[in-house]
A and B are shown apart, each in its own frame.
Chain A
Amino acid sequence: MTDNLEQLIKEAVEKALEGDMDAINNIEDRVTRSKAKAALVKAKREAVKEKTEASLDDNSESVSDSKKDKTSNEHIAELLIQQFPDDINKELSSNEHIQIQPKNWLIISIYLRDDPGCLFDSLQCITGVDLGEESDLEVRYNLHSMTHRHAVEIRISCPRNKAKVPSVESIWRIGDWFERETYDMYGIEFEGHRDLKRILLPEDWEGWPLRKDYEVQETYHGIIVPKVKEGWE
């Protein structure tokens, strides 16, 4: 008797999974009917679980595949070279960063933010670098995409006496303060910034403190700034 019932429930559930709910609804005994419905719910849940597991496996495989091939930097570099062949400095780029000419930086940044393959929604850092008195200044941008979970480093160098780089403050809002800080410390002017002024030092400060050729001012508002030379050197 019980074997018969189990057989009945099994058949009804199989039919219901194919879309025929009448097979369960037509069972006359109330207890058997509810048992069949419970079995149906269980069967459906397991089906969903198997499906998601399978899709997760697919995803992890595809991610590891793309990582095996190349770093995200190289991947983005390829995209940029396709789109802006004249603005990428291939010799100075490496697999860790992309060197860019300053001229079209604003357009490139819009591409980096909006292109479905890039989608860099977060500007994580802007750093100024002074590579020594003989060489140029450099600005470095660290970008990150929450959608693709990849990151890229963009470098733009500019001459010391005419340090000008297009502003990306209108693309990533955080660029406002990052660029003001870089301007404060290195004197790099970001063209197109709405309110480019010093952010940390007082507005009447002379010089750019993190440049290698910086000289400490002798007085500040009548306060003598002694230059301590003896000691560790």
Chain B
Amino acid sequence: MGVFENKFQDNVVVASLDKLLGWARSTSPWFFQFGLACCAIEMMATAASRHDLMRIGMIPRSSPRQADVMIVAGTVTLKMALRVKKLYEQMANPKYVISMGSCATSGGPYWQHGYHVLKGVDLVVPVDVYVPGCPPRPEALIEGLLKLQEKIQSERPLTRKTA
């Protein structure tokens, strides 16, 4: 810290730009408000006043253009899979996907005999966090969202990637 040590007043914060961006992104991940099945009811309960998603900076948005996170809440049928994919493509970067519940994760109860169900939404869009449960309780969804926030925080968008 040699160069900058004791140079600034109390109301100045010094941080790396990468970390600052990660902090800003992770604390306001607005999510895309759409539900496919019963998991959507739990998602609504999570967003409602008892569990109050807004306290961790999440606001439901009704347009994919304004959303950062897509919560795939419910059974994804093959008919719907094309729409989910289209909605994901309409979101602006950076974008994240949470697969909520066992249906979205693996087909759930339809994994064997559901001829019309997509066996996991990760066949169509890249998934960041899987939340297990049928349907997951609001606490479980919040846990998943906090995990996603950790992931966003740890990203270094400005650092050159050396592979």
Interfacial residues of chain B within 67-107, with CB under 8 A of chain A in the complex: 78-79, 81-82
Contact A232 B112 (CB under 8 A): yes
Q: Are A209 and B115 in contact (CB under 8 A)?
A: yes
Neighbouring B residues of A220 by C-beta, 8 Å: 78, 81
Question: How far in angstroms is the closest Cβ of chain A from B128?
Answer: 20
Q: Of A214, A223, A231, which one neighbours B78 at CB under 8 angstroms? A: A223
- CB-defined interface of A204-233 with B at 8 Å, one 1/0 digit per residue? 000001000010100011011110100110
A201 touches B112 (CB 8 A): no
A residues in contact with B123, CB < 8 Å: 223-224
Cα–Cα, bound, A201→B115 (Å) = 11
Interface residue B20 (Cβ < 8 Å from any Cβ of A): no
If the complex has contacts A201-B79, A223-B78, are A228 and B115 also in contact, measured as CB distance less than 8 A? no
Tell me, rounded to whole Å, the shortest Cβ–Cβ distance linking A222 to chain B: 10
A221:B112 contact, CB within 8 angstroms:
no
From residue B19, how far is it (CB to closest CB) to chain A in Å?
Answer: 39
Q: Does A19 contact B (CB under 8 A)?
A: no
B17 within 8 A of A: no
Taking a contact as CB atoms under 8 Å apart, the answer to whether B119 and A221 are in contact is no
Minimum C-beta distance from B140 to chain A (A): 25
Asked whether, in the complex, the Cβ of A223 is within 8 Å of the Cβ of B115, the reply is no
Query: CA of A223 to CA of B79 in the docked complex: distance in angstroms?
Result: 11
Assess the A209–B116 pair: CB atoms within 8 A.
Answer: yes
**Which B residues touch A226, using CB under 8 A?**
119
On whether the beta carbons of B78 and A225 are closer than 8 Å, the reply is yes
Q: Could you list 26 A-B pairs, sorted by A, with CB under 8 Å? A: A201-B79, A201-B116, A202-B78, A202-B79, A209-B115, A209-B116, A214-B115, A216-B115, A220-B78, A220-B81, A221-B78, A221-B82, A223-B78, A223-B81, A223-B118, A223-B123, A223-B124, A224-B123, A225-B78, A225-B119, A226-B119, A228-B111, A228-B112, A228-B119, A231-B112, A232-B112
